[in-house]
Structure 1
């Protein structure tokens, strides 16, 4: 099989193949012995180890069992499944406009019961007003040169965000104080957005923590990410959206969220930070 046209996917496949090869070597057996234990041809082992043939979930389970490494199978299977989906370039996601991107995540939002959201740059999408979302998405569309469907994208985002009013779902947000200060829209729009944030903090199923500028950091500010239950993580960079499903990856991001959450101001202290940001708009 030729290399995958996406260099990111091909690198993920090669990384998986290297891990499988290491597992075999750690067991101290040859490719031939592995093939015997797995009940398949030696050439199949070679194709998998050299990233010529992507292994199936069953292949990975058999490989790990043959090498006494059953405890690594779950991570490897998740890595195998996400290799073609983990890094999707924004230009591919947004080439038909921003509305469709808002709608494609709808099923994930409906299926999730607990959301953990960390943001270091903008107000979380869940908590955005129409005005703030319009300004942000307009900026994104202009920067990326996507079709101008901002009004439709904002409407789709507002529909998607209706999950926030479902009392059966829990939302935990951790914001850097910088999020309250970055001016991505007019002062009036930002004041309305911060007022909306204060209102959301009253919801029973919503917890909002804000890490103050003055806090001595135990954990550094990170790029924005969202943990959906304990099943997947969405982590964004400037050029790509990453969907992570390996148990070890989810555990890493969950641990990061808990560390960041411990440093966040809550209740009256968090409200005071928002009020200070509102007051600064009039300066």
Structure 2
């Protein structure tokens, strides 16, 4: 399925209108449809007015209840998948202020109990030193001091032992010189320190590890509810259970190739020594 950013914004309204039209064609009231789908009438109403976006299970129940023609089921299911995908351009973050994006990320991190991060290119702000964070924001317009502060505040979540974090980091990401050599050594030392926390699993994938599937993008999976994929120009947010499952499977493949514990810390020490 091609993801056109303009379509992503319109798809929710299209899906709501399509489901509403099909209900009416089936001669069903919202109350009767709700009973057939084992949903509340208020939920049906919010789906039809695009106040909430139904997941694929909800859509399948509704299509079955209205006896949708088979030729339309695939089309509407694709529309539902599109509606569960959001494109967030970096330009809009610049306009609103990057510190507000940090508040959104903090909200996701607060809600989730199990978080998985695949980092093929750079170290995430959760694991970064202040100097690394400041350097990574050099490309951003305006005053980034508030964003730096918010990123550092977010790091407190790492010490919440009710949460489980798994970070898969390639050698490329660890050794990419965002800051001068002495500061890079400190940054790598911080990874070593954080790897000792009981709720953090730090997995490293050294160069030369044979993995047939290339590391195309940074991505994060929040439990089994949401996945985000980052690019230079923005990020795509997936809420479709199939997209989330695919990212979880991809994460598992990389995880099986990663080195953890003492082996990972030995690698980090070697890489830090290269910058000293």
The TM tier, using the shorter chain, reads 0.7 to 0.9
Provide the C-alpha distance between the structure 1 equivalents of 2:11 and 2:203, rounded to a whole number of angstroms: 35
Deviation at 1:229, TM superposition (A): 0.9
| Cα separation, partners in 2 of 1:77 and 1:126, compared to 1, 3 Å | farther
1:255-278 CA distance string (max 9 Å, x none): 000000001012222122212211
Write the deviation string for residues 161-184 of structure 1: whole angstroms up to 9, x where unpaired: 211000100000101111121101
- Aligned equivalent of 2:81: 79
Which residue does 1:44 correspond to in 2?
Answer: none
1:219 and 1:38, CA in 2 relative to 1: closer, same or farther beyond 3 A?
Answer: farther
Aligned to 1:188: 182
Give the distance between the partners of 2:25 and 2:95, measured in 1 at CA: 48
> In structure 1, what is the Cα distance between the partners aligned to 2:156 and 2:173?
22
Looking at structure 2, the residues matched to 174 and 246 of structure 1 have their Cα atoms a distance apart, in angstroms, of 23
Aligned length: 244
SS of residue matched to 1:123 = coil
Kindly indicate whether the alpha-carbon contact (under 8 Å) linking 1:60 and 1:76 is maintained by their aligned counterparts in 2. no
> What are structure 1's unaligned runs of at least 5 residues?
1-5, 22-30, 41-52
More deviation, 173-182/215-224: 215-224
Aligned pairs for 1:57-206 (under 5 A) are 57=54, 61-65=61-65, 66-67=67-68, 79=81, 81-83=83-85, 86-138=86-138, 140-141=139-140, 146-148=141-143, 150-206=144-200
TM superposition shift of 1:107 = 1.5
Alignment gaps of 5+ in structure 2? 30-48
Quote the residue 2:250 is aligned against: 256
Instruction: Report the TM-score, using the length of structure 1 for normalisation.
Output: 0.75
Matched, 1:7 2:1: no
Q: 1:117, 1:187 → 2: CA distance? A: 25
